[in-house]
Amino acid sequence: MDKLISMTDFVLSGKWDKASSEPYSKENLDRITKYANFLKRPLELGMFIPCVDGEPIEKRPTYMIWSDVEKKYLDDTKEAVSYRKAKDNVLFKGIKIHSFNKGDIEYTLELEDGSGIVIDLDNETIEDLIKYNLTFTDKALKLWN
Per residue in 32-73, pLDDT tens? 899 999 999 999 989 999 988 878 886 666 656 665 665 555
One-letter identity of residue 127: E
**With 60 as the cut, is the pLDDT of residue 14 above it?**
yes
| Nearest residue to 89 (alpha-carbon basis) of 53, 40, 129 | 53
pLDDT at 125: 95
- Which pLDDT score, from 0 to 100, does residue 93 have? 93
CB 110 within 8 A of CB 99: no
pLDDT of residue 61: 62
Note the pLDDT of residue 98.
75
The model's pTM is: 0.79
User: 1: burial class by Cβ within 10 Å (0-12, 13-18, 19+)?
Assistant: middle
Close Cβ partners of 62 (under 8 Å, ≥ 6 residues apart)? none
